[in-house]
Amino acid sequence: MARAPQLPDRRTTAPVPYRALLVNPFYPKDPNASFGKHVLTPSLALTSIAAATPSPWQVEYWDENLLQGPPPIEPFPEVVGITVHLTFAERAFELARFYRRRGAIVVFGGLHVLSCPDECRPHADAIVLGEGVRAWPEILRDVENDRLRPEYHGSFREPAYAADPPPARHLLPRRSFLTTTSLIATRGCHNRCGFCYLATDGLKIPYQMRAPDQVAAEFAADGQPYGVFTDNNLGSRPDYLRALCAALRPRNKIWSAAVTIDVTDDPSLVRDMALAGCTGVFIGFESLAASNLDAARKKTPRPDDYARRVRILHDHGIQVNGSFVLGFDEDGPDVFARTVDWIEKARLECATFHILTPYPGTPLFRQLERDGRLLHRDWSRYDTANVVFRPARMTVEQLQQGYEWCYRTLFSLGSIWRRRPLGWRAVPAYVAMSLLYKKGNWLWPFLIRHRLVHTVWRPLIEISRWRHLRFRRRLAARGEHAGAGVGTCVSAGV
C-alpha cells in the first residue's frame, strides 16, 4: 500500500490503432487512516470519460490502487489517458514516460493539470484543462486525423451535463469494490471554502442537477444494493434532494452521501432521506471553532449546535462520518483532545481527519505562500496526512503528532466501544464494520489483491439493507407528523 508497482522492462508490440487505455495512478496510502476506504467505491472520473469513447475506439480501464500490478501493455494502446492529482503527479509522469517511449500518445487530465499546467505539459502529448467528458471524443477524433493539439479545454458550464452518458461501469472489476455504484446527481457546491480544491483558480463549476428519475434509473441499472453519491454536497438544494428521495424510495436500495450539517434545518427532509434509503452521511464539520470556519469562508451552522443536529440524523437511523481539518490558525495543541472528545460524546460512527493542506491555486495556498509559511513544494506530501506549512499556534511536530494521535485514539477499541449505538441490536453490526474498516488494515492488502473486497463486505451490506428496510416500514407507519421525534430509530442499527 506504500509503493507503486514496478513497470515492466521489456519490449512491447507496436501501438494498436483505435485502442485506448485510461489509468488511475498509484498513490501511497496513509497508514493512520483506513486502507479500506480506497476500495469502497470507484472514482467516477475515468469511467465517465470512458463512456464518451466514440466508435470504433476500444477503451480499457486500469486502477493501480487495486494492487493488480502495473497497467497492461498487451495489446499496446495507441492513446493513454492519465488522471493527475498533485499527490501522485510523479507517478503519472513516470507512467507517461513509459508509454510515450514505446510509441503511445499520452493525454493528461485532472485537477493538477488545471492548477499546474506548465508542470504537466512537458510530460504529455496533450493536456485537458477542465471537464474531460466532452473533450475526450474530440481528442480521439484528432488522433485519427493526425491533428492532435497540445491543449484542450472542457467547460463545466456546458448545458449538456444531464445528457452525459452514464459511467461505463462494465469496465470495473466488480469484486474489487464494496460497490461499483458511484453516483453523481449534482455538480458544484454553493460553498467556496478557501482550503477546498473547488476554490482552485480556473475551476468554475456552476451548480447543476440531473433529473431525479434519471439518477434513480442509473442506480437500479447497476444491480447493487448499496450506492454512494460522490456529489460535493447532495443537500445543497433541499428541494432537489427531496425530489431525488421521492425517486429513490421505491427502489428499496440503501445509499450514503456527502451533505452539510444544515440539511438538518428541516427534520422532515432528513425523514425523507431515511425513507429513501439513506443510511449514512459524510459531513465536513471541519472545525469546532467558529472563528476557523469564518476565516475559511464556510457557510455553516454554529459548532455549538452540531451535537443537536447530529442527534436528528441519528434519530432517523442515519450514521454520521464527520470530517475534521486540523491546523487552522486558531488551533492550538488542545485541538486534538477536544475534537476527539466531542466526536465520542456525539457518538459519530466514524470520523476522518485531515491536516490543513494548501492546494496549489487555492486562496489558502496564496496566503501561506505570501506569508512565507510553506515548508516545500513536494506535492507527494500534500495529501492531508503530512504537515506542509508552519502552523500559527503550534509546532510542525505537534500538528503531525496530534493528527496521528487523533486517528490512533478514535480507532482504538475503547473509543469504538464508547461510540457504539444506544440500541443494543445495532451494536454487533457497528462493531464489525468499525473493526473491518480500520482495525483491519493488516487484512486489506490481501482482500484487495485477491479481489475479495465485495465478497467480505456484501454480507454486512445486506444486513444493513434488511435492517433499514424494516426500520423504514416503522418510520413510515408513524406518519408524516413524526418529524424529528423518533427516539428509538438509532436501534435500527444502520
pLDDT at residue 438, rounded to an integer = 84
Lowest mean pLDDT among 155-159, 173-177, 225-229, 323-327: 155-159
Instruction: Tell me what pLDDT residue 487 has.
Output: 35
- Rounded to two decimals, the pTM is 0.91
pLDDT of 335 > 50? The answer is yes
Of 73-82, 110-119, 170-179, 481-490, give the lowest mean pLDDT range: 481-490
pLDDT of 165: 84
Q: Of the given ranges (4-13, 173-182, 326-335, 441-450), which has the lowest mean pLDDT?
A: 4-13
- pLDDT tens-digit profile of 115-125? 899 999 999 99
Could you say which of 3.80.30.20, 3.40.50.10490, 3.90.550.10, 3.40.50.300 is the CATH number of the domain covering 173-480?
Answer: 3.80.30.20
Q: What percent of the chain is predicted at pLDDT more than 70?
A: 91
Sequence-separated (6 or more) residues with CB below 8 Å from residue 32: 353, 385, 403, 404, 407, 408
Residues 7-29, mean pLDDT to the nearest whole number: 94
| 404-413 average pLDDT score | 96
pLDDT score of 188:
67
Chain segment 356-371, per-residue pLDDT in tens: 999 998 889 999 999 9
Q: Taking residues 442-446, report their average pLDDT.
A: 95
Average pLDDT over residues 252-281: 96
Q: Where in the chain is the domain with CATH 3.80.30.20?
A: 173-480
Q: Tell me what pLDDT residue 478 has.
A: 78
> If one looks up domain 16-154 in CATH, what number appears?
3.40.50.280
Determine the pLDDT at residue 361. Answer: 85
Residue 494 has pLDDT above 60, yes or no: no
pLDDT at 483: 43
Structure confidence by residue, pLDDT tens digits, 135-180: 999 999 999 999 999 999 976 665 556 677 889 999 999 999 999 9
- Distant-in-sequence, close-in-space partners of 413: CB < 8 Å, separation ≥ 6: 439
pLDDT at 486: 36
Report, as an integer, the average pLDDT of 219-230. Answer: 95
Mean pLDDT in residue range 264-284: 96
Q: What is the mean pLDDT of residues 191-217?
A: 72
Intervals of CATH 3.40.50.280 along the chain: 16-154
